[in-house]
A and B are shown apart, each in its own frame.
Chain A
Amino acid sequence: NAGVMQNPRHLVRRRGQEARLRCSPMKGHSHVYWYRQLPEEGLKFMVYLQKENIIDESGMPKERFSAEFPKEGPSILRIQQVVRGDSAAYFCASSRARDYRYFGPGTRLTVT
């Protein structure tokens, strides 16, 4: 049973470009969570989604950031017009229900 998969593992974008981060949850998991980890910081909650629904996006910046979890395919975290402050590691986690979350290996975003 494959774990949570994230791609790309590393992403470099110039300021103003768009970043799209993908997360494939574990098989059978319909709950997805996105977290951001800044250097020397803990993980910060961004958004919680179930299939086709955003349940809690209280940790998501109001502008430039969006997330989706379509009926088919991976969850996508999209960052428009990236700025240097967006450079961070972005982790997704999945769960079968509201229980233990399995974290993916993360996407390291670098904005130049």
Chain B
Amino acid sequence: TQLLEQSPQFLSIQEGENLTVYCNSSSVFSSLQWYRQEPGEGPVLLVTVVTGGEVKKLKRLTFQFGDARKDSSLHITAAQPGDTGLYLCADQGGSEKLVFGKGTKLTVNP
């Protein structure tokens, strides 16, 4: 059974700071997805990465996929209070089951 480990579990920073969160898999990712979940809401897909070494940018968010396709990072530049939420990584393997990590709970203080 694939296990996704995310670190850190909790992160509290001030507005304007940069941060990086990580996702590591016990096996090679098939299709890595990053989600953000705001309190009281469902997860919203941010990005999908498939190719080892791939880098994708979404405004202030930069997603990197490791060459071996077993790890990924999400870097946020100049964090804003609106970035507060639970960041989840997930893998969609060959089946229909998305496997999720436990997430990194980010709090950006004004």
Contact B97 A43 (CB under 8 A): no
Q: Pick from A69-77, A79-87, A100-108 the stretch touching chain B.
A: A100-108
CA distance A93 to B90 in the complex (A): 14
Chain A residues with Cβ below 8 Å from B44 are 103
Q: How far is the CB of B47 from chain A (nearest CB, A)?
A: 11
Contact B96 A40 (CB under 8 A): no
Question: Contacts A41-B102, A42-B4, A42-B102; is A103 near B97 (CB within 8 Å)?
Answer: no
Contact B41 A43 (CB under 8 A): no
* Tally of A interface residues using CB under 8 Å: 23
Q: How far is the CB of B70 from chain A (nearest CB, A)?
A: 18
Q: How far is the CB of B104 from chain A (nearest CB, A)?
A: 11
- Nearest chain B residue, comparing its CB with the CB of A3: B42
With beta carbons under 8 angstroms apart, the residue of A43, A98, A105 that contacts B96 is A98
Mark interface residues in B83-110 (1 if CB within 8 Å of A CB, else 0).
0000010100001111111110000000
Chain B residues with Cβ below 8 Å from A59 are 97
- Nearest chain B residue, comparing its CB with the CB of A38: B102
The CB with the most chain B CB atoms within 10 A, among A42, A59, A98, A100, is that of A42
Contact B96 A56 (CB under 8 A): yes
Q: How far is the CB of B98 from chain A (nearest CB, A)?
A: 6
Q: How far is the CB of B97 from chain A (nearest CB, A)?
A: 4
Mark interface residues in A1-13 (1 if CB within 8 Å of B CB, else 0).
0001000000000
Q: How far is the CB of B45 from chain A (nearest CB, A)?
A: 6
Question: Contacts A103-B44, A104-B42; is A43 near B95 (CB within 8 Å)?
Answer: no
Q: How far is the CB of A76 from chain B (nearest CB, A)?
A: 18
Question: Contacts A42-B103, A43-B88; is A48 near B42 (CB within 8 Å)?
Answer: no
Chain B residues with a Cβ under 8 A of chain A = 4, 40-45, 48, 88, 90, 95-103
Q: Can you list 22 A-B contacts (CB < 8 A)?
A: A35-B100, A41-B102, A42-B4, A42-B88, A42-B100, A42-B101, A42-B102, A42-B103, A43-B43, A43-B88, A45-B96, A45-B98, A55-B96, A56-B97, A59-B97, A98-B96, A100-B48, A101-B98, A103-B42, A105-B42, A106-B40, A106-B41
